[in-house]
Chain A
Amino acid sequence: MADRRIDLPQGTLDLLILRTVALEPLHGWAISERIHQISSKVLFVQQGSLYPALHRLERKDWITARWGVSENNRRAKFYELTRLGRKQLELQESTWRTLAAAVAQILEAT
């Protein structure tokens, strides 16, 4: 595992999870794999943070969980975005973009 791993900044995990499940319902393993792949193997979500985070989001009613059958025919818990979650995603996304742009600006200026 020679990937260049970066620890996730505080608070971004929620955003990443919401973004990942926005397209289709996914189970926990798929969420972590998707994040890993899409980030070109830079971001790696520890299981120890993933599942508590999933549960936290579920309690906030941003995602819901439901048992389904996985691609390899196993029972798995799928998470999907709720209406409230979608709103939250938009909000967090725009916040993040503003922040990222601002940080980038500062980095380029100096």
Chain B
Amino acid sequence: MLNDLRLRLRALFRRKAVEVEMDEELRFHFENQVAKLMRSGWTPAEAQRRARLEFGGMEQIKEEYREARGVSFIGTFVQDIRFGLRILGRTPVITCVAVVSLALGIGAHTAIFSLIDTVMLRLLPVQKPEELVLLARTHALLESDPTPSFTNALWEEVRDHQDVFSGVFSWSDSKFDLSRGGAVRQANGIFTSGNYFRTLGVPPAAGRLMAAADDQPGCPGVAVLSYGFWQDHFGAAEGAVGGTISLDHHIFQIVGVSAPGFYGVEIGQNFDVAVPVCAAAIFDGKESRLEHRSWWWLRIIGRRKPAISVEQINARLGVISPEVFAGALPPDWDPQGKKDFVKLRLVSSPAATGTSYLRRRFGEPLHILMAVVGLVLLIACANIASLMLARGAARNKEIAVRKALGATRARLIRQLLTECILLSSAGAVLGILFARWGNALLVHYISTGRNPVFLDLSLDGRVLAFTASVAVLTGTLFGVLPALRSTKVSLSAAMKGQQAEESERRVRFRPGRCIVAFQVALSLVLLVTAGLFLRSFVKLVTLDIGFDRNNVLVVNANLKTAKVPRERRLAVYQDIENRLRALSGVVAAGRSVMTPISGYEWNDRIHVDSPNAPTGEASLCYFNYVSPGYFGTMRSPILTGRGFDARDTSTATSVAPPTAGNFFCHH
């Protein structure tokens, strides 16, 4: 065994020496043979000829000898790569075209896969992520999807009653204004319960992280920074820890920085600052969301004890549910609402990959995109396969010569495939570059001004493995057919030259035709898909959404965090609106509480004194507070009646302008 290894290694690393020895040994044999023949009376020339005949092909023997050496696989692989590079370099235009088209295909594939990987597949960078489960509430009777949001009272009940988790925490996303006055500078914040970091197993990069003691009623408020935020805003200064940060004009003490690479449990967002849940009282004042029993703002994740399965957890959660919900009953709900409330049950689902709204929204589109890009890559493969076929035909002679010198067909096919995989690997390397741009583009596309999407798109092993296998697969795919085709050379025909090639051409056409048919078929599928996409796109662009979306800018102003007293806010808002209207270039200005299609909405039931007034779900209407300038600015047509104007002051009777339809709140 040891000897075997020694010989293999020697053949691999001292290739030249081994080759020289082999040469010498075979020549020695040959010369001895010639000498022997001369002794038996042949002339030197004749003896040489006979010896050569006996020998067969010297190169062929060497090749077999090399095979027997056993390292030929790696040895010839290196040789194939060298030769392949030389061949590819000889036709730079074809090579470039092939590499670039492959790079586009592979790059698009990699870009989409790395999004899928980041959004859906990657485990949270925390300790034993597979133990994490997300809690949700579901109604025992209604067959609706579980909702993963909780009130603070419910969270406290869960925290105090559960016995299946080794740790459990709640959190909520928020936005904080960092400025100490002037223009708003927003940061992504999270409210976290005291054991958030400890349960996840995220260590501090500096200072300390949140502890249970920080999350007590009436807490003074401490803040933990994310590593990225600490670097960008504090230059990673040690002195930042112990300093203060202003969040919505409240001063928080910075106690520490979380480890790099941890961006929170919500994929698609990164947190800059974490504050304890109890700090909500600091922002909200008297009627804080801590007390409010129908403010569903928290989400809960638990770490299951190793020995307990998700089913066991759900069974146990079912048992404690009545107690939990009874303990957090909203006192101001009507009797029916209260009855429904106590029938809610807790359920859990695995949360190893964190939570993300992106999954629900973009999971399917991403997979469709992946399939479309796959088709494009297949077409690219077909293109290159025909290029390779043409080149194979041009290399007919070379292949015939190599075959005549003793190369086996398998060896030639391997050589040709190596060239193809070289091509596709070059395409993959360039493709990874394209993928970086493609990713930035995709993320930009799914981000909106209010909700920028943050994704950690660093290349991980899974993405690289994916790209590598795509490269090998495509290389093989476009290489196999041409390789089989062009190594099927009849030696005698090739030696006869031109004519033989002519007669071969008729046969050679068949795979070419198959490839073309395949390409046309795929292109047709793509064309139809593109047509459908375009149609939907045109529909979306021309869709009447009830207002003119062109040239509308949104300005957000939050007077509450600017500490403007409640009674003065209306006047200040009015003043801001007037001043905006006075700016040059501004045609109209109006204001509203809800921005249309922002994702935020406000609805309530309305009651009309009319015999056929809608009831139940049908009476649910969407509301907005708007100023007189609103409808004009948005160019929303008023179908009947009038819009608001200066007559509608806070002392006048409320007017509701009908916007559309027979019943004024439909739409």
Contacts and interface: CB of A to CB of B under 8 A. Distances in A.
The answer to whether A binds B is yes
B605 interface: no
Nearest to B1: A61
Contacts of A11: none
Contacts of A46: 56
B7 A58 contact: yes
A12 B54 CA distance: 21
A55 B24 CA distance: 15
A56 B68 contact: yes
Contacts of B25: 27-28, 51, 76-77
A55 B29 contact: no
B19 interface: no
Nearest to B64: A52
A70 interface: yes
B68 A29 contact: no
Contacts of A33: 36
A98 to B, nearest CB: 29
A47 B24 contact: no
A53 to B, nearest CB: 8
B32 interface: yes
Interface residues of A, number: 24
B66 to A, nearest CB: 9
A56 B65 CA distance: 9
Given A52-B68, A56-B68, A47 B56 contact: yes
A59 interface: yes
Contacts of A64: 3
Contacts of B188: none
Given A52-B65, A55-B65, A47 B29 contact: yes
Interface residues of B, number: 28
B145 interface: no
A29 B32 contact: yes
B238 interface: no
Interface in A10-28: 27-28
B24 A75 contact: yes
Contacts of A60: 4
Contacts of B68: 51-53, 55-56, 59
Interface SS, B side: helix
A97 interface: no
Interface in A46-83: 46-48, 51-53, 55-56, 58-61, 64, 70, 72, 74-77
A60 B65 CA distance: 15
A51 B28 contact: no
A14 to B, nearest CB: 12
B3 A59 contact: yes
A46 to B, nearest CB: 7
Given A51-B61, A52-B64, A29 B4 contact: no
Max chain A CB contacts within 10 Å: which of B1, B56, B64? B64
Contacts of B7: 58-59
B69 interface: yes
B383 interface: no
Contacts of B24: 75, 77
Given A55-B65, A60-B4, A77-B21, A47 B26 contact: yes
Given A28-B29, A75-B24, A47 B61 contact: yes
A4 B217 CA distance: 107
B28 A76 contact: yes
B60 interface: yes
Contacts of B21: 77
A32 B65 CA distance: 16
A104 B440 CA distance: 81
B466 interface: no
Nearest to B33: A29
A5 B25 CA distance: 25
Contacts of A58: 3, 7
A29 B29 contact: yes
B70 interface: yes
Interface of A: 27-29, 32-33, 46-48, 51-53, 55-56, 58-61, 64, 70, 72, 74-77
20 contacts: A28-B25, A46-B56, A47-B26, A48-B55, A48-B61, A48-B64, A51-B26, A51-B65, A51-B68, A52-B67, A55-B68, A55-B69, A59-B3, A59-B4, A59-B7, A60-B4, A64-B3, A74-B28, A75-B28, A77-B21
Given A29-B32, A51-B65, 12 more contacts: A27-B25, A33-B36, A47-B29, A48-B64, A51-B61, A52-B64, A52-B68, A53-B68, A56-B68, A59-B69, A61-B1, A72-B35
